[in-house]
Amino acid sequence: MPMFSVIIPCFNAEETLPQALSALSKQSFEDFEIIIVDDGSTDSSSQIAHAFAATDERAKVVELTNGGPSRARNIGALVHATGDYLAFLDADDVWAPQKLARMAAVFCTPNSPEALYARIGFFRKQLKAVRTQSTVREGVLSARDLLRENAVCTMSNIVVRRSAFLESSGFNNALRYGEDVEWLIRLIGTGARVEGIDELLVFYRTSDAGLSANLRAMHTGWRRTLNLVKRIDPTLRPSEIAAAEAIHLRYLARRALRIQSEPLTALGFVFSALARSPLGFFSDPKRGVLTAAAALAAPVLPRAMHDRTFAN
């Protein structure tokens, strides 16, 4: 029985899956199994996965018809995983070599939390081009924290005790946007503790395409998350909700700049955030000022300069 089950859902990921698997094979901690769930790919992802499994006895490939990332992760975790802990890795992201070693060290301490996450570095093409990183909140992550801003950022950043994942009932198969936050809130609602390690252990590939680029759908997912948090925490005040939405809109503005969306997109998110709660938008003064300034500058910058300025 391995300590970790690494779950890798992939769909048409032939360009990025080799790098994700290569980094995974370089983990300094080796007590893990690898479950690659091919979600009905029509490119060479399945062949890449099978070729990798032929060289690493810890790996197996699960073939599915396309049903979305939530279903793929659930099948990998609930049907095929045998490890004590589930470590999710998206096919376009990359782990640092010490990722599982650091997680194992914390999980082996007394009274360890049910789930861990770390800092993320954002890159577009090359890992050495990382310019921005996520932050890790002090203490235990709460549902209110997730409503304001998802410190976990991506499922590639979460490792959870399998028993806690089972108690949370896994992901909602119907969701294709915001499924990670929705699940994390339900996980916290079961009493599970989610804590951060303030180290850079995950690299997240930004892209102009894909699920994470659909910013409007992400905002719709946030509103669905709000309804869930209200059920878990009915004491949430309107002013707190407004501030949380402003922070979320600030994040969407920054994301719009990072993925080089239409220049006015970020500015629209900034105006919407300020209309809801200026205090929320400037809750992190530096981030608020820089986001507003960047959003104002984006429409007038030449495209080439925009690409250099906001690439990460």
The domain spans of the chain are: 4-205, 230-310
Q: Say how far apart CA 197 and CA 186 lie, in whole Å.
A: 21
Triad 130, 132, 136: Cα angle to 5°: 120
**Assigned CATH class of 4-205:** alpha beta
Q: What interhelical angle do 285-297 and 238-258 show, nearest 10? A: 50
Kindly tell me the burial class for residue 83, based on how many C-beta atoms sit within 10 Å of its own C-beta (0-12, 13-18, 19 or more). Answer: buried
Q: Residues 22-30: what's their mean pLDDT?
A: 96
Between CA 273 and CA 276 the distance in angstroms is 5
How far apart CA 92 and CA 201 sit, in angstroms, is: 15
**Across residues 7-16, what is the average pLDDT?**
96
CA distance 312 to 310: 5
Measured CA distances, 180 to 74, 154, 174 (Å) = 12, 7, 12
Cα dihedral across residues 230, 236, 240, 242: positive or negative:
positive
CA angle 34, 56, 155 (to 5 degrees): 25
Name the percent of the chain lying above pLDDT 90.
67
Confidence category of residue 224, pLDDT binned at 50, 70, 90:
confident
DSSP 18-82: HHHHHHHHT-S---EEEEEEEES-SSSHHHHHHHHHHH-TTEEEEEE----HHHHHHIIIIII--
Is the distance from CB of 28 to CB of 57 less than 8 angstroms?
Answer: no
pLDDT digits (tens, 9 = 90+) for 267-284: 999 999 999 999 999 999
What residue has token string 């699940």? 183
DSSP code of 218? H
Residue whose structure tokens are 């948090």: 229
Closest CA to 103 of 35, 4, 34: 4
Q: Is the pLDDT of residue 165 over 70?
A: yes
Q: What does pTM read for this prediction?
A: 0.87
The first and second tokens of residue 286, run together, are 């530096």
Q: Is the pLDDT of residue 303 over 70?
A: no
Confidence label for 218 from pLDDT (cuts 50, 70 and 90): confident
pLDDT of residue 216: 82
pLDDT of residue 312: 42
Q: What angle do CA 279, 311, 265 make, to 5 degrees?
A: 50
